[in-house]
């Protein structure tokens, strides 16, 4: 059983805005310390950023309007990161948070549904949600030609309640509310989006997921804030693995579009 949402789902819009803000912070500083929360819906976007670097509000507004539409009102609050947390990272990479993490190999069903979601989204660039469960496929895609999709996916249930608008004018979105879509069975307690690479929620989650796919084994890890080693590796090495992954896919905003799958 697996649910996938596309990048125009309200929760993913929030994740993408948070990711773009993280990209902005990294364009200013090599290793910023930042955590961003986004709540968006019905014409308003509320953002709180705890950050070690100053971010120009005009740039934040540009990001929101580019991703969510030009008629969004932006309420932005920026505060410095807690001094004790900043001191914990001073001079070297230490684990930025407590956490439990799990990497699980993807199933055929999960891979297949992710491919279906991407294919449909390439044609219908609007809010969509897709579910696979025990051979059953449900496709909810706003602004779609239902009859075309029924021909292409004859065994699927297409828009069971009929046409729908979708988007942030219909529903609100918040960061890290669609982690099941982003991580499948690898989901644990930490959120992937809106955080810098020092945060274990980002780097250790990415590392555990990649290790599970390469070994085809379940990976379970724990860490405590301040740890310098995770999975018998220097934490700095895990951060660099995650950094390379984010770089390869095009940045934190791109990462937020589909998550790890």
Q: Which two tokens stand for residue 121?
A: 């989204």
Confidence (pLDDT) at 89: 65
**What does the pLDDT profile of the chain (261 residues) look like in tens digits?**
999 999 999 999 999 999 999 999 999 999 999 999 999 999 999 999 999 999 999 999 999 999 999 999 999 999 998 776 666 666 677 887 789 999 999 999 999 999 999 999 999 999 999 999 988 999 999 999 999 999 999 999 999 988 889 999 999 999 999 999 999 999 987 899 999 999 999 999 999 999 999 999 999 999 998 899 999 999 999 999 999 999 999 999 999 999 999
Q: Where in the chain is the domain with CATH 3.30.300.10?
A: 10-105+174-258
Domain 10-105+174-258: CATH class, spelled out: alpha beta
Confidence (pLDDT) at 97: 78
What does the H/E/C string look like for the chain?
CEEEECCCCHHHHHHHHHHHHHHHHHHHCCCCCEEEEEEEECCEEEEEEEECCCCCHHHHHHHHHHHHCCCCEEEEEEEECCHHHHHHCCCCCCCCCCEEEEECCCCHHHHHHHHHHHHHHHHCCCCEEEEEECCEEEEEECCCCHHHHHHHCCCEEECCCCCCCCCCCCCCEECCCCHHHHHHHHCCCCCCCCECCCCHHHHHHHHHHHHHHHHCCCEEEEECCCCCEECCEEHHHHHHHHHHHHHHHCCHHHHHHHCCC
Confidence (pLDDT) at 96: 74
Sorted by sequence, the CB contacts under 8 Å of residue 231 that are 6+ apart come out as: 207, 211, 219, 221, 238
Confidence (pLDDT) at 93: 78
Confidence (pLDDT) at 203: 96
- pLDDT tens digits for range 54-92: 999 999 999 999 999 999 999 999 999 877 666 666 667
CB 128 within 8 A of CB 142: yes
Burial class (CB in 10 A: 0-12, 13-18, 19+), 54: exposed
Confidence (pLDDT) at 95: 84
Confidence (pLDDT) at 202: 96
Instruction: Compute φ and ψ for 98, nearest 5 degrees.
Output: -75, 150
């Amino acid at each position: 059983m697996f649910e996938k949402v596309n990048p125009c789902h309200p929760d993913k819009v929030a994740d993408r805005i948070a990711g773009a803000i993280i990209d902005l912070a990294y364009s200013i500083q090599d290793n910023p310390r930042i955590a961003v929360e986004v709540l968006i819906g019905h014409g308003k976007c509320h953002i709180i950023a705890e950050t070690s670097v100053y971010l120009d509000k005009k740039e934040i507004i540009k990001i929101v309007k580019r991703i969510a539409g030009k008629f969004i009102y932006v309420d932005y609050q920026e505060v410095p990161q807690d001094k004790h947390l900043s001191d914990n990272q001073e001079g070297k990479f230490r684990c930025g948070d407590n956490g439990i993490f799990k990497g699980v190999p993807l199933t055929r069903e999960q891979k297949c549904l992710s491919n279906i979601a991407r294919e449909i989204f390439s044609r219908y660039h609007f809010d969509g949600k897709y579910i696979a469960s025990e051979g059953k496929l449900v496709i909810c895609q706003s602004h779609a030609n239902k009859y075309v999709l029924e021909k292409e996916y004859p065994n699927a249930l297409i828009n069971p309640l009929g046409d729908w608008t979708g988007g942030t004018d219909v529903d609100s979105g918040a960061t890290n509310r669609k982690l099941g879509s982003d991580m499948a069975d690898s989901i644990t307690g930490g959120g992937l989006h809106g955080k810098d690479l020092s945060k274990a929620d980002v780097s250790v989650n990415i590392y555990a997921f990649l290790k599970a796919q390469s070994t085809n084994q379940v990976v379970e890890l724990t860490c405590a804030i301040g740890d310098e080693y995770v999975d018998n590796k220097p934490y700095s090495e895990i951060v660099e693995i995650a950094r390379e992954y984010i770089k390869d896919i095009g940045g934190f905003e791109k990462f937020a579009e589909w998550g790890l799958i």
